[in-house]
Structures are given as C-alpha cells and as structure tokens.
Structure 1
Amino acid sequence: MPLIIMVGVPCAGKTTRAKAIQSYLQEDCKLNVELINEETLGISKCEYYKDPQTEKILRASLKSNVEKLIDQNRVVILDSQNYIKGYRYELYCLARNAQTNVVTIFCDTESEIAQKVCSEGGYDNAFPPALFEDYFGRLERPDPTKRWDNPLISIRFDEVTPYEEIAQTVQSGKKPRDPVSTKAEITFDANFIYELDKSCQKIINFIMAKQQEVTQGDVIAGLPGCQKKYKVLRVLSPVELKKYKKDFLNLSKLHPPKSKDKFGDAFLEFLNASNAGAAAASE
C-alpha cells in the first residue's frame, strides 16, 4: 500500500490532517495504516529542529522507520516537514523498492497563518519567529511534474481535507515505474556489482580531483563513462562519497542500471539528487 508523504512548513496543520486521514482510512476504508512522526518516535521537535546535525539525525530516523514498515499491505503516513525535494526522492525510492506507490499531500498554508499558529503555542513553541522564517524559506514546494511528488494533493489552510480523493488515490494509484536509468533490461553476470563499483569509484576519484579546482555552483563535465554532468553544490569528503556509493550499490542490486554503458550516468543521477538534499539541509 502507498506511502503518504505530508509536506508543509511548521504549524501548517500537517499532524491534524494526518491523524484525520489515518482515522478515515482505518474506519471507512478498513485499511491498515501506520502514522510516523516525531511524536510517535518520542522525539522532541523543540530539541531536534534547532540544530542542523540533530535534524539530520531526525530525518534519518524517520526514513528508517518508513523503510521498516512500508509494504504492499500497509499504508504508511510520514507526517513531518519533508521540505527537501532530495529527501522526498529518497522516500520515493523506498516506495519503489517496496513495489508500492507514493501520494504527496501538501499543506499549502500561508506564512502569516502558520506563524500565528506557532505563536499561539503550536509544536510546543518549537518554532519561534526566527526559526519559523528559516524553515519557511527552505521549503522546496512539491512539483507534480516530478515523479517523486506525483500524485500531488494540495490543501490550503481553510479547505476541508478531501478524504474521498485521498482514499481513491491510495487504493487505485499506479505504482512508481522504474526510471530508464535504473530499469533492468539485461541480465548481468556475476561480476556486475564489481564492475559497477569500479565505474562508481572512477567517478568519485574524478570528482575529488576536480572539486578542488571549482567553486560552488560550477558544473563538471567529462566524467569517466558519463554523458551527464555533475553540479558542485558543496565539497564532498571521501567518507560522504563512499557512503553515496554504498547506498547506490545497494539500490542497484534491486534495480540495476539499464546497461553497462549506463552505469556512470545512473550513479551520477543518484549522486546529484542525494547531494542536492544534503546541501539544502546544511543551509
């Protein structure tokens, strides 16, 4: 069953709507529904969202719990800000690996309204004005033209939650299709992962050599085995690049690149998306 991703600024009404959606799907549609948020994990928003490093830990914990619960027989609702498009892409990949679909619900609440809710005591005062403005400015609005944000249901603050539309989308939505770069069309031999690892390492070595010569925002072309280009959003350490390679190899075991000549571009696409999310989180 689908993963429902709630998106919105602090105090936009996400938790209220998420709980109501959970009740509707359980009581009216007789579905098995799990709600995941900071509250269910016993995590204090006040403590975790005030520091970029603890926020990163929080996102990893939420994602880990989604990965544990998501399957074809259970609806999972992730109720958090989910304001980074790269992070939503990672969640989309989890759903694709579980052979189910995603539904994005955007609580499109105006800044003045959400800030007023926060000032009246929302989220246990975790978002004072300065912190609220910071997160409001970071929001990367969902885009229905992007496969990881589609289908998208946008709800303004004064609108009634469209329960029937959500239920219909959940029950009849199409599963995410494998992108061309990760759809397996050939059978690889036993050296598949070894060869893929070598291709990735060549790209990593190239990036590490070149990123010292460029500035933030520059684009690096001519990567070995790649037609795509790499955008430098920040300087990546060898440890970070190694982690990205490990994550990509694990994903490729389930969804191999289309062919051997696409190994490099597939890794570069994954690297660009993952790095974009990490760069946004560190701002």
Structure 2
Amino acid sequence: MALITFSGYPCSGKSCRAQQLKSHLEDFLQNPSYAGPKLKVQILSDDTLNIERSAYDSSRSEKPARGALFTAAQRQMGQDTILIVDSLNYIKGFRYQMYCAGRELKLRMCTVYVLTPAEMCKRWNEERTDGRKYAPETLDNLIMRYEEPSSMVRWDSPLFTVAWEDADVPAHDIWKAVTEGIVKPPNVGTQSVPKAPTDALRVLESIATQTVSAIMSAQSLAPSLGGPATLSLPSSSSSTLTVRINLPPRNVTLSELQRLKRQFVAVHKKAMVIGTTEKGQVEFGERDVAEKFVQYLEENFKP
C-alpha cells in the first residue's frame, strides 16, 4: 500500500523518528473516522535484520548488507502494509532502486529526511552504550559519502524533512501522502513481459504457408478478379479454420505472397524473441495468426 524510506546520517535519530511515525500511523488506522482498508505498519531496519554496524566498514561487506535489506523490503512490500524502511539509505541509486520496486507494486511512496548536524551525530555515536556504535573512521566515511535527498527528483518526492530540534514528525502530512498520494504506474522496463507459447513459431510458419496456398487456390477457382474471398485452412482442432480476405483487382502472384509471408514471419519472430508484440499482447493462436496475416496482406497488397 505504501513505502516510506527514511534517510539521514548515521546516528541522526532515524530510528527514534521511525518509531514516532509508526505510533502515529497506527493511531490513524485505529481512529473510528478511518474507513479505508485494513493495514499494518511495519518497520524494517538493519537491527531487525541483525546487520552489524561493522558491515559498513568496507564496500565488500556493505554491498551484501544492502542486498539483504533490499530483498527483505521487497518481501514485505504489499497492498496491506505501510512499510517504513529505517536505514541509512544514503546512496541515491539505492533509494531509486527501492522506488522502482515500490512503483512496480503500485505503492504510494515518500521519503523522510532526518536532518542532524554531523558533529551531533558523532557525539551521539560516542555516547551509545547498546553495542551498535560505528567505528569513527566508518562514521566519517559514511557522512562524507552521503547523498542528500532532493524533492526535485521523483524517487525522493514527496520529501519530508525532520530537523534534530523538531519535537515530532509531520505525521498528518505523511499520512496524507501514503493514503491519498498519486500512485504512479510501473515503468515499462520493470513489468514482466508475457512470452509466446513454445509452438508459436510452428503455428506462425504453418498458418502463413496454408494461407498463401488457399489464396492461390481461390484465385484459380474464381474467374473474376479481386474482391472478398473466404479461405478455409486446416486446423489442429476438429473444425476448419475460415478467414475472409479482400483481394486486389488483379491476380496476386505466388512470388508476391511468398515475399509478404517472409516479411510477416520475420516481424513476429522478432516479437517472440523480445517477448512481446504490438500493444503488449502475445497472441499466437491459429485464428489470431491467420487474421493478423490476412490483415497484413490486405495492407501491403499493391493495387
């Protein structure tokens, strides 16, 4: 239903803000005035996944840690969940990856930027006694590499900034964003593409060849030139497959039909490799192929 991505310096207070927001969202969901779907609020963080702070000491250990976070986020995203991702999320490319995953599932999304001065983050890190302290050099490195969210880019917007001195998060504005915000359609590149059936090439070649033979037979039997004609084609089912075609006012030669057939097969063979056809539909049944081929011939016959 919604994805809320937290971002900020290490030890900037993100977890505290995430808990504040979770409490507010649960209150809104339990309010008698709420008439929407039944939802649950979940927080996903490095701590819930048991990712140690030392994972950020080197790029070799950080990469699988981010991968574990992203995989867990994908599993928990859903239409019945408001998912709060409480992690550093300091790389804009990673935030974009999360955005694409949420968009594919048609979730509403927003970003919460917890803004805290670097010196205060370092002091809070030193004061930690829960065993979740960053090494000083790691903390300096993460702060230096931090890529600040921007409301000007689609994967960070809408963006809500919470300063360290603010008493609370803008819960009402975030609630409105995750319940009334625009649901963006999935990117074409992220959508699963339907595939052609395994016998599509055989059907394509067979139906096109049979159609060419039927047209040549119809021309040899009909004394008049051109006009509508009914073609009877053999079918794998018990019934005969019939299609109608408008022939030009002249005899269509076999060489012309063979040329158009090769062009038609080549175009649709490419569609099989790509995994899609025009308008994103994959239709390789015998009747579908016959009707498409007849339409293709009518559009490409010379007067």
CA 1:122–1:167 in 2, change beyond 3 Å: closer, same or farther? Answer: farther
> Aligned residue for 2:300?
none
- Provide the C-alpha distance between the structure 2 equivalents of 1:44 and 1:80, rounded to a whole number of angstroms: 12
CA 1:123–1:115 in 2, change beyond 3 Å: closer, same or farther? Answer: farther
CA 1:121–1:187 in 2, change beyond 3 Å: closer, same or farther? Answer: closer
Does 2:56 correspond to 1:44? no
Does 2:177 correspond to 1:169? yes
- Provide the C-alpha distance between the structure 1 equivalents of 2:88 and 2:3, rounded to a whole number of angstroms: 15
- Provide the C-alpha distance between the structure 1 equivalents of 2:109 and 2:19, rounded to a whole number of angstroms: 18
> Aligned residue for 1:94?
101
Give the Å deviation of 1:122. 6.8
CA 1:23–1:56 in 2, change beyond 3 Å: closer, same or farther? Answer: same
Aligned residues: 195
Native 8 Å contact 1:37 1:80 kept in 2: yes
Runs of 4+ more than 6 Å apart = 186-191
Partner-residue secondary structure (3-state), 1:147? coil
Does 2:160 correspond to 1:153? yes
* Structure number having the greater strand percentage: 2
One-letter code of the match for 2:106?
A: Q
Percent identity (aligned): 28
Q: Which runs of 5+ in 1 are unaligned?
A: 192-251, 260-283
Native 8 Å contact 2:104 2:190 kept in 1: no
> Aligned residue for 2:34?
none
Does 2:78 correspond to 1:75? no
Larger radius of gyration: 2
Does 2:11 correspond to 1:7? no
TM-score when scaled to structure 1? 0.62
Native 8 Å contact 2:111 2:160 kept in 1: yes
Q: Which runs of 5+ in 2 are unaligned?
A: 31-38, 199-273, 281-303
Does 2:75 correspond to 1:61? no
CA 1:130–1:69 in 2, change beyond 3 Å: closer, same or farther? Answer: same
Native 8 Å contact 2:42 2:81 kept in 1: yes
Native 8 Å contact 2:109 2:177 kept in 1: no
One-letter code of the match for 1:19?
A: Q
Partner-residue secondary structure (3-state), 1:149? coil
TM-score when scaled to structure 2? 0.58
Does 2:129 correspond to 1:114? no
One-letter code of the match for 1:117?
A: W
Give the Å deviation of 1:43. 2.5
Does 2:110 correspond to 1:103? yes
- Provide the C-alpha distance between the structure 2 equivalents of 1:125 and 1:69, rounded to a whole number of angstroms: 25
- Provide the C-alpha distance between the structure 2 equivalents of 1:166 and 1:182, rounded to a whole number of angstroms: 29
CA 1:85–1:183 in 2, change beyond 3 Å: closer, same or farther? Answer: closer
Match runs of 1:243-282 below 5 Å: none
Give the Å deviation of 1:183. 8.8
Does 2:131 correspond to 1:143? no
Give the Å deviation of 1:177. 3.7
> Aligned residue for 1:263?
none
Give the Å deviation of 1:28. 2.8
- Provide the C-alpha distance between the structure 2 equivalents of 1:44 and 1:183, rounded to a whole number of angstroms: 31
Which shifted more, 123-132 or 19-28?
123-132
Q: Compute the RMSD of aligned alpha carbons.
A: 2.9
CA 1:171–1:120 in 2, change beyond 3 Å: closer, same or farther? Answer: same
Partner-residue secondary structure (3-state), 1:175? coil
CA 1:190–1:105 in 2, change beyond 3 Å: closer, same or farther? Answer: farther
